[in-house]
Amino acid sequence: RLMKEEKSIPLDNLEVHFRSVRDSRGLLTFAEEMKDFPFPIKRMFWITDVPEHAVRGGHAHTTCKEIVCCVKGSFRLVISNGHENRTFLLDSPRNAVIIPEGVWCSLEDFAKDTVVVVGASEEYSMEGYIRDYDEYMTIYGTRDSEQH
């Protein structure tokens, strides 16, 4: 199906810090295509009402990039390129993380009433997912890496 990757996807420079304007009416935070994220958004979705101890994600995309932002509450985002792992605490609507294609992601430790917004570079396609970690490691990783 897919060839094993020759080199790993870098996990550096994936954090995005959105600009905000505050006045007496509150905080307005915004993002602009090609300034705050390097790809056009073709799909957006929201994650809400996550039960205690539930984990979201648990997959990688073969071609789709995503930008993940916590607009309310907090959660941990754990990503892996098959060789190294990075963990981000997302707890502010001003911060986001870009998940490149070929990177495994897991969303964990959701605070009560957390709201996550995700922008994706492609429309939904079941064929674009790798949902089995062993398959992911066969394509992108090394066998001695730990699962997330």
Residues identified as active-site: 59
Closest CA to 64 of 39, 86, 83, 84: 39
Secondary structure (3-state) at 133: helix
| Cβ density class 119-145: b for 16+ within 10 Å, e for less | bbbbeeeeebebeebeebbebbbeeeb
Are the beta carbons of 137 and 143 closer than 8 angstroms? yes
